[in-house]
Amino acid sequence: MNHIQFTIVESWNTNSIVRLYKEAGWWKEEYSPDEIPGLIKASYRFIVGIDVTSGETIAMGRIISDGISIGIIQDLCVHSDFRGKGIGQALLQSLVNEARKAGLLKIMLVAEPNTESFYKKSCFISNKNQIFLLHSR
């Protein structure tokens, strides 16, 4: 972990972000890499994890927020070569710390199915009383 640095960015190398989205299985052929700079800029906070020994971008995550009350963490991803080393937990904690520093009152996150145990380690709970619906095209 000593060789991983987390940095808040307002822009970043598009290819490295696309590579992480593909690695996570979230990239679709109809997406355009040209949209990545706008996605980063529109995020309340966008954090990348960099392996300082190689300069490689190995993790990312972002917060979407109104800047006042609610922050939603999403797109948390660690490259598969670096998983199981505590990087995901450290990245998540960095995102939570940023949300807290900003004074956000409620922090939620969007997670993949069957990842609940990972997030529970960082004190996230699932709330069965709330229903989130996804609009399908």
62-81, pLDDT tens digit by residue? 999 999 999 999 999 999 99
pLDDT at position 12 over 90? yes
pLDDT at position 120 over 90? no
Alpha helices of the chain — where are they, by DSSP H?
14-24, 36-42, 87-101, 116-120
What integer is the mean pLDDT of 131-136?
A: 56
Average pLDDT, the chain: 89
The per-residue pLDDT for 124 is 73
Between these two residues, 116 and 9, which has the higher pLDDT value? 9
Check residue 47 and give left, alpha or beta (phi > 0: left; psi -120 to 50: alpha): beta
Confidence of residue 110 (pLDDT cuts 50, 70, 90): confident
